[in-house]
């Protein structure tokens, strides 16, 4: 079938199956049928148009995961505009930078820092006098413009080069079924969650919205809604496989066909536990970025043969590892990961430059190693590497060692400098409600880090260290620390 506009696809689902429930919010019980999505987004697109939104404009959508978020994005597409999803609680300084770069025609949800920008606030209701009938079929030249995670700096706006038109008969994406009940376990403003949720709605998926932090409840949600696929972060996997609820509820996961995970390296012990829980053939891992400059894939069967790998290049992706001087590294040699895809770039940054070279190769700044058979292993992010003396230390590997402690729910390791300029390894450790003393965990953490470099601040807390997308704002971590401290 030929491609159709996203607005046309939404209207098409309403015409074919008007009463089908497309979105269920498990937290509130609210549901949205295909016809309701079509009518509500038609009305809201007319409201947005009156507020000045036109073809190829950017519209910031700073809403929490909700049916309201889904309707707002559908309305933006029907205006011929591009949704720019944004965390509603993004810090003021970072939000101001994004607004200056994006210059949205409208902000939906959390009020903008720039008060001159028009805003449609959270919870606003379109007047019933506005018609709900069909609108003009329009589409933007870019179907989405999410921000990067910003975990290593200020978020960048990543505008897709693909227009807001898709083939409704094509799987979305190729490694997921065309028809599915998808459990949304992350914030919809996050790039990966946004992409997979909405691409699914353009084919034959229905969505179930869940609380991303209540991981222990996921098996019961899967069973109630007969979920066929869900996406998890490594942090969620860690909490799920440690959960007594999950171990007691294996049968609740029987409907699952695919558990997808991505976003960061997954500790091997957690990955093995996930495979034991749902089965190797159901587990799929993807390595990719918001930029879609390339991707790799591995399923659980291949992972058991190549533990720790994130896969081999998928589809039209090419992969190479480069040394610091730009030359190609040998198999087994750690270097920077570069990828490219045929058919040109899939993105453009707004207000920033990519690392893409003249031959189309691009890097997101991750470092890794490829084995003799072409399987990629992620080591860390280049900007996170801590040099202690003449040795490079990779915080991600240290984090995985710390979360091996039975009382640790999550950990973040980072490099800082003592006041005399010497390097220090520091950590923030989340122990949740574990019945353990903070000093016990701090001592374990310090001993783990001290085997690699002198240590600085060790903070033990009973609260998450990452946001709902599984990311850490590393720019908020102190650059200078006391020689030894404990909090």
For 153-209, the pLDDT digits (tens) are 677 899 999 999 998 887 667 778 888 999 999 999 999 999 999 999 998 999 999
Q: Give, in order, the Cα–Cα distances in Å from 148 to each of 12, 186, 277, 386.
A: 32, 15, 31, 23
Q: Percentage of the chain with pLDDT > 70? A: 96
pLDDT band at 1; cut points 50, 70, 90? low
How confident is the model over 372-408, as pLDDT tens digits?
A: 999 999 999 999 999 998 899 999 999 999 999 999 9
4-212 and 385-486 share one CATH topology?
A: no
Residue among 246, 245, 237 nearest 409 (CA): 237
pLDDT band at 345; cut points 50, 70, 90? confident
Per-residue pLDDT, 354 = 86
Beta-bridged to residue 348, according to DSSP, are: 159
The CATH fold of domain 4-212: Rossmann fold (3.40.50)
How confident is the model over 111-126, as pLDDT tens digits?
A: 999 999 999 999 999 9
The whole-number average pLDDT for the span 94-106 is 95
Q: Is the domain covering 315-383 a CATH 3.40.50.620 domain?
A: no
Residue 45, pLDDT > 70, answer yes
More confident residue, 39 or 351: 39
Beta strand 366-370 with 335-341: parallel, antiparallel or unpaired? Answer: antiparallel
More confident residue, 131 or 472: 131
- Polymer length in residues for the chain: 487
CB–CB of 61/73 below 8 Å? Answer: yes
Rounded Cα distance, 217 and 244, in Å: 11
Per-residue pLDDT, 480 = 65
Q: Could you give the 3-state DSSP secondary structure of residue 345?
A: coil
Per-residue pLDDT, 484 = 55
Q: Which of 22-36, 138-152, 414-428 has the highest mean pLDDT?
A: 22-36
Q: Rounded mean pLDDT of the chain?
A: 92
How confident is the model over 292-303, as pLDDT tens digits?
A: 889 999 999 999
How confident is the model over 204-238, as pLDDT tens digits?
A: 999 999 998 889 899 999 999 999 999 999 999 99
Per-residue pLDDT, 98 = 94
Query: Per the structure block, which two tokens stand in for 282?
Result: 């159901």
Rounded Cα distance, 55 and 464, in Å: 40
Q: Looking up tokens 């045929």, which residue turns up?
A: 342
The sign of the dihedral angle between the CA atoms of 222, 225, 230, 232 is negative
The structural domains of the chain, with segments of one domain joined by +, span 4-212, 315-383, 385-486
pLDDT band at 149; cut points 50, 70, 90? low
The CATH fold of domain 385-486: GMP Synthetase; Chain A, domain 3 (3.30.300)
More confident residue, 248 or 413: 413
Residue 483, pLDDT > 60, answer no
Instruction: Give me the sheet containing 106-109, strands edge to edge.
Output: 82-85, 58-62, 106-109, 119-121
Query: Per the structure block, which two tokens stand in for 394?
Result: 């990779």
pLDDT band at 482; cut points 50, 70, 90? low
The sign of the dihedral angle between the CA atoms of 106, 112, 117, 121 is positive
Beta strand 165-166 with 312-313: parallel, antiparallel or unpaired? Answer: unpaired
Query: Per the structure block, which two tokens stand in for 389?
Result: 């003396």
- C-alpha angle 136-139-141 in degrees, rounded to nearest 5: 155
Residue 108, pLDDT > 70, answer yes
């Amino acid at each position: 079938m030929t491609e159709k506009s996203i607005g046309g696809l939404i209207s098409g689902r309403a015409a074919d199956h008007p009463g089908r429930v497309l979105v269920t919010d498990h937290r509130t019980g609210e549901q949205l049928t295909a016809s309701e999505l079509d009518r509500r987004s038609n009305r809201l697109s007319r409201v947005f148009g009156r507020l000045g939104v036109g073809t190829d404009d950017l519209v910031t959508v700073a809403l929490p995961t909700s049916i309201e978020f889904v309707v707002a994005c559908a309305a933006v597409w029907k205006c011929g505009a591009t949704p720019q999803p944004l965390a509603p609680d993004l810090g003021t300084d970072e939000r101001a930078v994004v607004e200056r770069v994006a210059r949205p025609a409208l902000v939906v949800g959390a009020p903008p820092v720039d008060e001159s920008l028009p805003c449609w606030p959270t919870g606003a209701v379109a007047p019933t006098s506005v018609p709900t009938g069909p609108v003009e079929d329009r589409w933007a030249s870019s179907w989405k413009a999410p921000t990067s995670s910003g975990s290593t700096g200020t978020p960048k706006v990543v505008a897709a080069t693909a227009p807001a038109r898709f083939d409704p008969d094509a799987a979305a994406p190729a490694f997921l079924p065309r028809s599915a009940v998808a459990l949304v376990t992350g914030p919809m403003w996050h790039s990966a969650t946004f992409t997979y949720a909405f691409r699914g709605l353009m084919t034959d998926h229905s969505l179930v919205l869940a609380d991303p932090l209540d991981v222990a409840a996921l098996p019961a949600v899967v069973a109630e809604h007969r979920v066929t696929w869900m996406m998890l972060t490594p942090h969620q996997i860690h909490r799920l496989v440690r959960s007594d609820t999950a171990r007691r509820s294996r049968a609740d996961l029987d409907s699952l066909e695919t558990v997808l995970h991505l976003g960061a390296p997954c500790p091997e012990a957690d990955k093995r536990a996930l495979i034991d829980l749902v089965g190797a053939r159901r587990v799929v891992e993807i390595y990719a970025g918001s930029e879609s400059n390339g991707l790799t894939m591995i399923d659980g069967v291949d992972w058991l043969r190549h533990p720790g790998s994130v896969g081999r290049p998928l589809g039209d992706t090419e992969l190479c590892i480069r040394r610091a001087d730009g030359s190609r590294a040998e198999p087994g040699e750690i270097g920077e990961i570069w990828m490219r895809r045929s058919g040109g770039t899939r993105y453009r940054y707004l207000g920033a430059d990519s690392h893409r070279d003249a031959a189309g190769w691009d890097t997101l700044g991750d470092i890794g190693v490829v084995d003799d058979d072409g399987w990629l292993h992620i080591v860390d992010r280049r900007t996170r590497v801590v040099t202690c003396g003449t040795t490079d230390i990779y915080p991600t590997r240290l984090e995985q060692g710390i979360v091996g402690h039975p009382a640790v729910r999550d950990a973040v390791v980072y490099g800082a400098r003592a006041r005399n300029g010497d390097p220090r390894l520091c950590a923030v450790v989340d122990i949740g409600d574990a019945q353990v003393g903070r000093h016990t965990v701090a001592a374990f953490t310090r001993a783990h880090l001290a085997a690699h470099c002198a240590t600085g601040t060790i903070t033990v807390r009973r609260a998450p260290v990452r946001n709902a997308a599984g990311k850490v704002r590393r720019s908020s971590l102190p650059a200078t620390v006391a020689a030894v401290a404990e909090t």
